[in-house]
């Protein structure tokens, strides 16, 4: 049974990659996996949600104004992700990395992202994978209050369900970064590359590339069929609505 998404209390999201075990390696993994999609994104405004997203290098994104958003710290805009100060349809793209896991109300968090995106705008989502063996290392007493284990994990399938309810179309998704998040392991993915090829779900992180869709209320095909039916009716049998 899934636990409720709404939480009474939350932990603080990391303010730098250095707070995570092998943080710089993880940051490079995010840059690598997001690079193939970055050249699709263009426009005027892009928000990077959280401190981790702020440090992700994506030089191929063709967006003139990119800015970081977080509740605290050295960012361009200080705001709660569940109470954004941005107007509807104001952003062309949003990059979110490891922030949802530390939100009290993740549903409201995603709704705010949805409202601020333009139609066909991109959401680049990166989260921590609860199906990864790295989750087990979080049970060590010294790790319980450290990021990312101090946050809450949501599966990729659950996030995809939430996004589908918000009229997002998932374009690409996958797992990456096979590691146990143990600092003593060098390299971080030692012994896990072969396992990752057989079981991709063991990656410590996952990504979702989604586009916001706004479908018309009346399908074009249905309207054509309606007009064809009206044309076959005698004029005396047509109602005022059908003649409009």
DSSP-derived secondary structure letter, 237: G
Residue with tokens 């090829």: 197
Neighbours of 242 (CB within 10 A): 12
The answer to whether 49 and 71 are in contact (CB under 8 A) is no
| Distance (Å) of CA 106 to CA 10, 101, 118 | 11, 8, 21
Q: Which helix (H) or strand (E) holds 28?
A: helix 23-38
Q: Is 17 helix (H, G, I), strand (E, B) or coil?
A: helix
Q: What share of the chain is helix, strand, coil (3-state, %, to 5)?
A: 35, 25, 45
Rounded to whole angstroms, how far apart are CA atoms 123 and 106? 15
Residues (pLDDT < 50) of the chain are 1, 217, 242-244
Per-residue pLDDT of 19-67, as tens digits, reads 998 999 999 999 999 999 998 999 999 999 999 999 999 999 999 999 9
**CATH fold of 17-216, please?**
Rossmann fold (3.40.50)
Counting every residue written for the chain, the total comes to 244
Write down the pLDDT at residue 122.
97
Query: What 3-state class would DSSP assign to 131?
Result: coil
Q: Where are the domains of the chain?
A: 17-216
CB 96 within 8 A of CB 206: no
Closest CA relative to residue 50, chosen from 120, 101, 121: 101
Asked if 121 contacts 92 with a C-beta cutoff of 8 angstroms, the reply is: yes
Identify the burial level of 50 via C-beta atoms within 10 angstroms of its C-beta, where 0-12 means exposed, 13-18 middle and 19 or more buried.
buried
Q: Which two tokens stand for residue 130?
A: 């609860």
């Amino acid at each position: 049974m899934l636990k409720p998404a709404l939480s009474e209390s939350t932990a603080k999201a990391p303010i730098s990659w250095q707070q995570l075990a092998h943080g710089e390696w993880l940051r490079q993994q995010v840059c690598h996996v997001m690079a193939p999609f970055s050249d699709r994104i263009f426009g005027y405004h892009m928000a990077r949600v959280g401190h981790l997203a702020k440090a992700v290098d994506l030089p191929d994104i063709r967006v003139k104004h990119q800015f970081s958003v977080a509740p605290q710290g050295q960012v361009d805009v200080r705001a709660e992700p569940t109470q954004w100060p941005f107007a509807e349809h104001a952003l062309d793209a949003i990059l979110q990395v490891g922030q949802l896991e530390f939100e009290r109300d993740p549903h409201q968090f995603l709704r705010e992202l949805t409202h601020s995106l333009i139609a066909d705008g991109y959401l680049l989502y990166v989260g921590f994978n609860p199906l990864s063996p790295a989750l087990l290392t979080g049970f060590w007493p010294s790790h319980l209050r450290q990021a990312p284990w101090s946050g809450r994990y949501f599966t990729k399938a659950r996030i995809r369900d939430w996004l589908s309810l918000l009229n997002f179309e998932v374009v690409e998704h996958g797992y990456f970064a096979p590691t146990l998040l143990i600092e003593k392991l060098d390299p971080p993915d030692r012994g896990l590359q072969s396992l990752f090829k057989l079981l991709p779900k063991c990656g410590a992180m996952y990504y979702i590339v989604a586009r916001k869709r706004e479908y018309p209320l009346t399908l074009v095909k249905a309207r054509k069929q309606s007009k064809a039916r009206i044309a076959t009716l005698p004029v005396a049998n047509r109602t005022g609505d059908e003649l409009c």
